[in-house]
């Protein structure tokens, strides 16, 4: 999957889709945060995430800026990420190149 480079670096981890604030308390440390978009209320999740993938946004979006501040890779505007990725799948996120690669199915 490809998108826009949001925050440089590479990381591998298990996908955890966050669809609403109801999912915040369930977010596991070290997971890859996958969401449609993020806003400032989502910032605490970035402290737990190993990487970020969003379906919208770009290099100046909240998710990209926050990921850069936290030093975690992020790929933005991966249009089909919510339909192609499910919780527990292992992915490799390349925030420098804007690429997400499925490593392992659940």
What is the predicted pLDDT for the residue at 104?
A: 76
List the one residue out of 63, 55, 44 whose CA is nearest residue 17: 55
DSSP structure string for 79-98: TTHHHH--TT-EEEEETTTT
- List the domains of the chain with CATH numbers: 4-104 (3.50.30.10)
What pLDDT, on a 0 to 100 scale, did the predictor assign at position 55? 98
pTM recorded for the entire structure: 0.96
- Could you list the pLDDT tens digit for every one of the 106 residues in the chain? 999 999 999 999 999 999 999 999 999 999 999 999 999 999 999 999 999 999 999 999 999 999 999 999 999 999 999 999 999 999 999 999 999 999 976 5
Residues marked as catalytic:
62
Which pLDDT belongs to residue 102?
A: 96
């Amino acid at each position: 999957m490809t998108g826009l480079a949001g925050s440089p670096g590479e990381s591998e981890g298990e996908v955890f889709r966050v669809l609403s604030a109801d999912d915040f308390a369930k977010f596991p440390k070290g997971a890859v945060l996958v969401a449609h978009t993020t806003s400032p209320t989502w910032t605490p999740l970035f402290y737990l995430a190993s990487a970020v993938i969003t379906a919208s946004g770009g290099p100046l979006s909240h998710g990209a800026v926050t990921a850069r501040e936290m030093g975690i890779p992020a790929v933005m505007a991966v249009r089909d990420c919510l339909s192609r990725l499910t919780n527990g799948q292992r992915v490799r996120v390349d925030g420098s190149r804007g690429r997400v690669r499925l490593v392992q199915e659940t």
